[in-house]
Amino acid sequence: MFVAVFKYDPPNANATGFPHSVYLFPNYWSFIKCDFRKAKRIADPSEGAGEGFEFVLKKMQTYYFGCGEYKGIHCKTGNMKFAVMPLKHWRF
């Protein structure tokens, strides 16, 4: 089982005081553009504290994540986003 763990400071704990969150984008282009209109919020600003927030990657597909706070400004200007793809064991 693949699990992505998100750890981020809760609001007002980091130097800037900015909250963060985790959104799952529906596709590549919404990820590239940081278009959150069809993105799904999977963790709120308080869930990244401590041991963090765990998201199980159930499918062998690319998952696109981004911070959606402040209308996506962290995603757009701070590049606070990433993509990940779980792969089955490779045999050559």
Q: Which stretch binds Cu ion (CB under 5 A): 12-20, 42-50, 58-66, 82-90?
A: 12-20
Q: Does 69 bind Cu ion (CB under 5 A)?
A: yes
Q: Based on CB atoms, which residue is closest to Cu ion, 39 or 80?
A: 80
Please state, in angstroms and rounded to a whole number, the distance separating the CA atoms of residues 46 and 91. 41
* Closest of 2, 3, 6 to residue 82, by C-alpha: 6
Q: Do the Cβ atoms of 34 and 76 come closer than 8 Å?
A: yes
Q: Does 81 bind Cu ion (CB under 5 A)?
A: no
Give the binding site for Cu ion (CB under 5 A): 20, 67, 69, 74, 80
